[in-house]
Chain A
Amino acid sequence: MSVLKYLLQKEFRQIFRDPAILRIIFMMPALQLIIIPMAADFEVRNVNLAVADHDHSAYAQQMVQKIKSSGYFKLIHYSSTYQDALKNIESDKADVVLEIPSNFEKNIIREDHTSLFIAVNAVNGMKANLGAAYLQSIIQDYNNQIRLKWIQFPKIPPQTNIEVTVSNWFNPMLNYKYFMVPAVLATLLTMVGSFLTALNIVREKEIGTIEQINVTPIKKYHFILGKLIPFWILGLVVLTIGLIIMRFFYQIHPIGNILVVYFFAAIYLLCVLGLGLLISTYADTQQQAMLISFFLLMIFILLGGLFTPIDSMPSWVQKLTWFNPVSYFIDVVRMVVLKGSGLSDIKNHIFIIVGFAIFLNSWAVWNYKKTN
């Protein structure tokens, strides 16, 4: 055991000796945790609208006013030619063009119907779809308003109507940050853990000190433990920093017990460190280690449900995500923080992650023995 003590002492000294790395270890997660959730706001609002109004009637103006006051649209251009409005889409200034035909008002009243033309910049498909849907529903609303003015409704509605009420649980304000912050925290922990472990071990290989270690009586498992324990602790420190930022910067109060997150993270870190160890056994240079980690983490994170829901992925990809440890951790942090899930709710997640940890570490140790 005393050998392990000296190994740990050495690792910690080396980590704390390099202020550049240390700063990055703690600053990087903090900075990312602050920037990404602020940037990752996919709610569709601020849709830029250009209007080509050939009518200039009171109705047309009322309708445009109603669209503007909905909060979703910003009127950035108003003219009477379609060409002018379209230019705004070409230069990316506008997302939607609404063309109001001449005789708009007259046709509604005299002919009982009129038609509007909407052109949407659909390069960003999702935004286009939702933007168009919002615009249409505002126009429908306005339509009902006009109808109400012209018809007196009897007591029993002439038209069957199903009213739909919505309750949004766990995130009633629909705040996207509540959803993103826990997940970004989970990915950061993954990156810090695997990246640093891999780089650290490969660095000893590249410098040649590992050769020296090999001729000493240090047991392989001592060496590996000596590498894993410091980064395991570091990982928990990063988690703590992240939770503090979440609580005080974002004012997110976890509903569940934060100890559940720690418990899961403690196991999850073993799995992530095992991944780093595994990478280090396959890489000869730091450059390789970095690229391999980067490549794997990119896949894990993109397919981990951080930005796009796993449920939306095609079923073959969903099956692949069963083998993605990151997705389980993201899931657990979100469940505990937002829904207050407890240990019994996440017991499947725990079993799977324990399995991953054992698998990755055994593979790494097996491969480490083989190559040395």
Chain B
Amino acid sequence: MIVLDRVSKLHGSKVAVDHVSLHIKPGEFFGLLGPNGAGKTTIIRMITALTAPSAGQITLNGHPVSRNNTAYKAQIGLVPQHINLEPELTVEENLRLHGMLYNMRRDEINRRINELLEFTELKGERHAPANTLSGGMKRKVLIARALMHNPMLLLLDEPTVGLDVFSRRRVWDLIKSLHARGITILLTTHYLEEAEHLCSRIGLLKKGRLIMTGSMEQLRDRVGPVVVAFSEDRTRLYFFREQAEALVFASGLTKEFTIRQTSLEDVFVKMTEESVELN
């Protein structure tokens, strides 16, 4: 499917992405997780040819990335982090424009518009100008637009940023049903709950470097599936292979502590926060 081979991106002397290698298989739901400025959006922009890699290569089903490689770009659907709908065009016109840009036939465009407005529950907003919609509705239109041409790979760049809890849950449901249909998805997020809830495999990005990849279970096993957390001057985390080891360690503590299964947040903190003291 999509392969990133030692991809780097420099902004002047600043390294935004540093030798990232990644292989996402067909049907996979891959999440790129990292704090702000980790390089998530830059990776999406390189995959979509919005910016060129400084080094390395990106291929999708053998097609190398290039701004003029129309065969490559036709396979990708992008839901950007920012709302970039044509503000004065209606929902239907935004979708139709996308269909025309992807060289779809008129009857196919009409059929897909009807299907996707149904799927995203936006039938009532069909003739509403995009700039009159709520934030959650705009996100749904962005998703519908990205799906118009039946892409092989769907890129979701922080798709729920700025949404309230209810809108976020609705977008999650929509994304989950897309994956159930077999679409390959690459999602970037800094919401740990989002990655844990949606993704079958997760990559952790730190300062442009991909420091760890694997399923939730694999990531948990890598650091230790049991964690002892307690507060001193800051929250301290100690990871263990077995519950019994954790209990032995905790019995020597004079502070209040909790023993629990390692969460993605624990993994994330351990791998990205240098100041956390590790066992």
Chains A and B bind each other: no
